[in-house]
Amino acid sequence: MKRSALIVLLIVILVIILSSIYFKLPKNDSFPDDLYCESDADCFPASCCHANSCVGVANKPDCSANLCSAVCELGTLDCGQASCLCVKNKCNFVLK
Amino acid sequence: MKKNVIVIVFLTFIICLSIILTSAQKAEVKISPKVDKKVSEAFVSNNNVEVIVKVKDEKIKSSSLGIEEEDVISRQGDLLIINSSSSDLGILESNGNVVEIEKSFRFRALLQDTIGIVNATKVWPIRVNSKNITGTDETICVLDTGVDFTHPDLIGKNKTCIIDCFNKICVQNCSIGDDNGHGTHVAGIISASGSILGVAKSSNLIGVKVLDSNGDSSDQGTLDIKNAIDWCVANRNLYNISVVSLSLGTLNLFSNYCDSSFSSTLTSVINNATAFNISVIAASGNSGNGVARNTTSISAPACITNATAVSATNKDDSFSSYGHYNFLVDLFAPGTSVTSTYPDGLYALASGTSMSAPHVSASFALIRQYYRLKFGRTYTPSEIESLLRNNGHNITASGLNFTRIDNFKAITSLDNESASVALIIPANNFINTSQTIEFKCNATDLSLRNVSFFLWNSTNSVFNYTTSEVSGEYNQLNINVSNISLGNYKWNCLYYDWNNNFAFAQSNFSLTVGGINVNLISPENGNNTKLNSANLSCRTTSEENYNLKNVTFNLWNSSALIHTENRSISGLNNVSGFNYTFTYEGEYKWNCLGFNNNTNSSFATTNYTITYDITKPNITLISPNDGYSATGTQNINFEFNVSDLRNISKCDLILNNASVSYGESILKNQSNIIPYSVSSGTYTWGINCTDYATNIGNSSTRSFVINAASVSSSSSGGGGGGGASSTSTFAPGSDEVSKGYTKELKRNDKIRFFDSSSSEHTVNLDFVGTDFINLTIRSDPIKLVLGIGQSAKLNLTSKEFYDLFVKLESINDKKANLTIQTINEPIIGPETKNNEINENISETEDTRNKGNNFLIIFGVILIFILIAGVLIWKKFKVGLEKEIIKKVEKDLKRNKK
């Protein structure tokens, strides 16, 4: 019985450690098609003004008629704070 | 039983695990030298806190800090703003690249510096037709996200409600403000007048909404802007609109004028506006959203010919890293880290050509106002643009020359009038026996720059020349020149203004050093006497080369010279006394005229007066009446009227033939009062008054009786103010406050004090809680909450140093024991430490955390002991059972045998 209790104890500890590692690890989820890219050139701002996320070329917004306030908004692509990069075939918003 | 053990072990570990995780989380929010206390405090009520992380080097990548990239909100050089959880904080704290972590306050009022850079502050004091050049009577249309006109610094600036042109025909809409903040920031740069000041701080605004809450135009943005400009032009006369400010632009860039390539409709609208002398100022656009910073192309509508295109400089006049520019850019203005107004009464720091454009818009308003007041006509947009371009700070890039605006240079360049100069003392043709002379001259101009003093001798050589920098529209030069040789001189002052116009006073003044000098000695000027005989004396001195010859005494009454007396004198220095007997009362003037052997002669610079007065003051008693009686000790106002030829120096209250009190500042021919407290008794009273000539007038006498108060009365008698909680204002001296002034205050009590620069401040106790207080410190209101033992250092007058220390010592019976002390302690570190609360509670929190940790560890140990105990007991129980079974088996075997 003593041995079995210790085994149970070890299993519980192991489960806790493994689950915590699992939850801490970055999720390698699949991502929607609108973020798909093959190179940086395939990635574009998700909105016309002060974008804080990126999309693939297929979802590039049409900004030809838009005007934006000319301010460098924090946490956006404004004024070289960040760029849209293709990482593992997914468009990412990457702060510099 | 086996099952029970498993359940117990499992539950125990779940409990242990949760305790450990909780304790680990709490332990991470601890005070460390790297982490500002405010960060730890913020985690008490928040799971995530926005922090500013300073790293060792700006080259250190945010990915190397061990936190999720998405938590990094922004970065500027070696400063990162991070949305941090408590575990992130632990990671950051232990990272060797992190130098400092402090709480990020997103909106904070900072000292404005850009209005100084564009020299608006030097323009404001300039006055034309008694009006300062601050943008008064000029209105700027701000085409943006709207404007929050309820901001304290923008109240009263709006000429209308918001004009809503977003995706519609423009309509006035009083229910909208600014749903983004951008428009309010732009408006503040132009016109704020409160805690911060705009470039044209007295100008008016019209908020026109053409951008949405994301700072994005509608899909028909160009049409919205066309409508908005049309509205401003149509209403120009109604609201005195002179400038349209556009802090917006397209993502598409244009390398040349875009009048037809962008939008001919918008071009014609802008052309129409400028034709009506309305300037259209537009931002050149920033890098971002997939558009790299461009030095060959700019955004529209800035690229339209008649728009004034504005790009951004940093505060050190370097080119910003984000603002597009090419040859189309007309002007530059500061655009990086500009503080301005933000909705909900806040202030925000923002960067972009959006911030540069309003600096220029407001500058156009200042110049228009100046020109209107000075020359009575409207300056055209192109004239103003040229003026600013030709009179600013030159900056160069890519072989192109640009101008960062300088309002002072621009406006003073319009000044073609030289200063108006006047010579004050010594007067023209003055003869001065002293060889040290004080010279005074003054000048007025639009803006003075420097002054030079000239003293020429008789051969027209410069004997003395002094120059100094001056400023403002008026200056008086005071200068002492010593060791001036005897002889004849001329002197003058030469003033330059900022546009290099210069002027002397119309003609030089002549001066003779040497000659003769007369001073009147006694009696002093304004003397009063009741004696009919007076001795009046004067001193006469001559320059060393010529002896004195004679002196003449002159005495005038109010209308004519009534007495002269001539006396021969000798030597270089003589004092002569003259006796005169007055025959009638009145005011006389007297002077002496000295002569020397060189025919120099001089009176003393001013006549002295002497008054002969023998009339006694005439006193009439008013109250109390003769025979007045009262019961109990009385405070009586003894009232009287006095008349006399001359002023009264004092009046005595005579009670039972003795002077018991007196009053000064006695008014002639008016009621005067001397208060005095008298107990029971019979009295006679009267008033004796003395005039300046020491004539004493006695009044008639009156009597009154004060009866003793009845002993049988049991009433509380008078009450004296009851328990009404009146407020008190304490006014300690500067010395007291500088040493630390402690006072027990109740709610609404005040301490009024002066700082080292003699500025008055008031500390008002707004509220007294059980263990905290609310304070307001004025003149610049600062609200403060202090707990017992907490202190705060405040910077009331400068962001450079703390100048006030406040500490709540204790609270007893709803009264706060408060200490204030004026200090002079430099503020070190980032501006986020403007007003610093030193919370002594940090130590107790530390202790509390340590206590919590101890309890947690103790709990875990206890649980493990319990588990061990259960296991041992189980083992022991099993062993015991086995022994009993063995014994029973043995007994059974023995019984069988």
| pLDDT above 70 coverage of chain B, percent | 86
pLDDT tens-place string over residues B488-508:
899 999 999 999 999 999 999
Residue B32's pLDDT is what?
A: 55
Residues of B in contact with A79 (CB under 8 A): 286-288, 321-322, 351-352
Chain A nearest-CA residue for B336:
A72
pLDDT tens-place string over residues B440-452:
999 999 889 999 9
Chain A, chain B: beta-carbon pairs less than 8 Å apart: 156
What is the CA angle B181-B183-B185, rounded to 5? Answer: 70
The per-residue DSSP string of B72-101 comes to EEEEETTEEEEEEEHHHHHHHHH-TTEEEE
Residue B416 touches partner A, C-beta closer than 8 Å: no
What are the tokens at B249?
């632009």
Chain A nearest-CA residue for B76:
A81
Mean pLDDT of chain A: 82
What is the CA angle B843-B844-B850, rounded to 5? Answer: 90
Rounded distance, CA B114 to CA B893, Å? Answer: 108
Give me the phi and psi of B390, to 5 degrees please.
-90, -10
Q: With 50 as the cut, is the pLDDT of residue B877 above it?
A: yes
pLDDT tens-place string over residues A24-44:
544 444 556 788 999 999 999
pLDDT tens-place string over residues B157-214:
999 999 999 999 999 999 999 999 999 999 999 999 999 999 999 999 999 999 999 9
Residues of A in contact with B288 (CB under 8 A): 50, 72, 76-81
Q: With 70 as the cut, is the pLDDT of residue B118 above it?
A: yes
Residue B285 touches partner A, C-beta closer than 8 Å: yes
* Confidence grade of residue B618 (pLDDT, cut at 50, 70, 90): very high
- CATH class in words for B420-513: mainly beta
The listed range with the strongest mean pLDDT (B136-145, B835-844, B859-868) is B136-145
Give kind and range of the element (H or E) at residue B843.
Answer: helix B841-896
Residue B722's pLDDT is what?
A: 34
Query: Considering the domain B134-365 in this protein, what is its CATH number?
Result: 3.40.50.200
Mean pLDDT of chain B: 85
Task: Mark which residues 159-188 of B lie under 8 Å from A by CB.
Answer: 180, 182, 185
Across the interface, whether the CB atoms of A49 and B355 are under 8 A apart is answered no
ipTM of the complex: 0.71
Give kind and range of the element (H or E) at residue A15.
Answer: helix A2-24
Half-sphere exposure of B810 (CA within 13 A, CB side): 3
Give B630's strand partners: B706
Query: How does DSSP classify residue B324?
Result: -
Within 8 A by CB and 6+ apart from B862, the residues are none
Which comes out higher in pLDDT, residue B11 or B302? B302
Which comes out higher in pLDDT, residue A18 or B255? B255
* Confidence grade of residue B17 (pLDDT, cut at 50, 70, 90): low
Query: How does DSSP classify residue B187?
Result: H
Residue spans of the domains in chain B: they are: 2-103, 134-365, 420-513, 516-607, 618-707, 729-833
Catalytic choice (B354, B356, B363, B447):
B354
Q: With 90 as the cut, is the pLDDT of residue B623 above it?
A: yes
Residues of B in contact with A80 (CB under 8 A): 287-288, 293, 321-322
pLDDT tens-place string over residues B497-539:
999 999 999 999 988 887 788 889 999 999 999 999 999 999 9
Which comes out higher in pLDDT, residue B67 or B677? B677
* Confidence grade of residue B30 (pLDDT, cut at 50, 70, 90): very low
CATH fourth-level superfamily of B516-607: Immunoglobulins (2.60.40.10)
Residue B3 touches partner A, C-beta closer than 8 Å: no
Q: Kindly state the average pLDDT of the residues B665-688.
A: 92
What are the tokens at B159?
């000429």
Across the interface, whether the CB atoms of A16 and B17 are under 8 A apart is answered yes
3-state helix, strand, coil in chain B (%, to 5): 25, 40, 35
**Other C-beta atoms lying within 10 Å of the C-beta of residue B77:** 10
Give B707's strand partners: B631
Residue A57 touches partner B, C-beta closer than 8 Å: no
Across the interface, whether the CB atoms of B289 and A50 are under 8 A apart is answered yes
Chain A nearest-CA residue for B216:
A68
Rounded distance, CA B692 to CA B530, Å? Answer: 9
Nearest by CB to B145, which of A69, A74, A77? A69
Q: With 70 as the cut, is the pLDDT of residue B860 above it?
A: no
Which comes out higher in pLDDT, residue B369 or B737? B369
* Confidence grade of residue B312 (pLDDT, cut at 50, 70, 90): very high
Task: Mark which residues 512-531 of B lie under 8 Å from A by CB.
Answer: none
Query: How does DSSP classify residue B323?
Result: B
Candidate from B465-474, B479-488, B795-804 with smallest mean pLDDT:
B795-804
Domain B729-833 fold:
Tick-borne Encephalitis virus Glycoprotein; domain 1 (2.60.98)
Closest CA to B701 of B635, B634, B616, B619: B619
Chain B nearest-CA residue for A54:
B289
Across the interface, whether the CB atoms of B222 and A67 are under 8 A apart is answered yes
Query: Using only C-alpha atoms, what is the Rg of chain B?
Result: 43
Residue A51 touches partner B, C-beta closer than 8 Å: yes
What are the tokens at B441?
């001259």
B320 included as an active-site residue: no
Beta carbons of B366 and B344 less than 8 angstroms apart: no
Q: 3-state SS of B641-687?
A: EEECCCCEEEEEEEECCEEEEEECCCCCCCEEEEEEEECCEEEEEEE
Q: Kindly state the average pLDDT of the residues A70-92.
A: 91
Nearest by CB to B290, which of A69, A72, A84? A84
Q: Kindly state the average pLDDT of the residues B321-347.
A: 94
Give me the phi and psi of B128, to 5 degrees please.
-130, 130
Query: Considering the domain B618-707 in this protein, what is its CATH number?
Result: 2.60.40.10
Q: Kindly state the average pLDDT of the residues B313-324.
A: 95
Beta carbons of B497 and B447 less than 8 angstroms apart: yes
pLDDT tens-place string over residues B264-279:
999 999 999 999 999 9
Residue B184's pLDDT is what?
A: 97
Residue A25 touches partner B, C-beta closer than 8 Å: no
Closest CA to B211 of B190, B176, B183: B183
What are the tokens at B767?
């509220």
* Confidence grade of residue B399 (pLDDT, cut at 50, 70, 90): confident
Rounded distance, CA B761 to CA B778, Å? Answer: 5
pTM for this structure? Answer: 0.53
B88 included as an active-site residue: no
Angle between helices B353-375 and B182-191 (to 10 degrees): 30
Rounded distance, CA B114 to CA B111, Å? Answer: 9
Q: Kindly state the average pLDDT of the residues A49-72.
A: 92
Task: Mark which residues 766-825 of B lie under 8 Å from A by CB.
Answer: none
Q: With 90 as the cut, is the pLDDT of residue B227 above it?
A: yes
Domain B2-103 fold:
Alpha-Beta Plaits (3.30.70)
Closest CA to B195 of B349, B351, B347, B350: B347
Q: Kindly state the average pLDDT of the residues A8-36.
A: 65
Q: Give yes or no on whether B2-103 and B729-833 have one common fold.
A: no
Residue A29's pLDDT is what?
A: 47
Residue A5 touches partner B, C-beta closer than 8 Å: yes
* Sheet containing strand B671-678, strands side by side: B618-623, B634-643, B671-678
Half-sphere exposure of A11 (CA within 13 A, CB side): 9
Across the interface, whether the CB atoms of A69 and B322 are under 8 A apart is answered no
Rounded distance, CA B743 to CA B755, Å? Answer: 18
B78 included as an active-site residue: no
| pLDDT above 90 coverage of chain B, percent | 55
Residue B110's pLDDT is what?
A: 44
What are the tokens at B562?
């009534």
pLDDT tens-place string over residues B573-614:
899 999 999 999 999 999 999 998 877 788 887 899 999 999
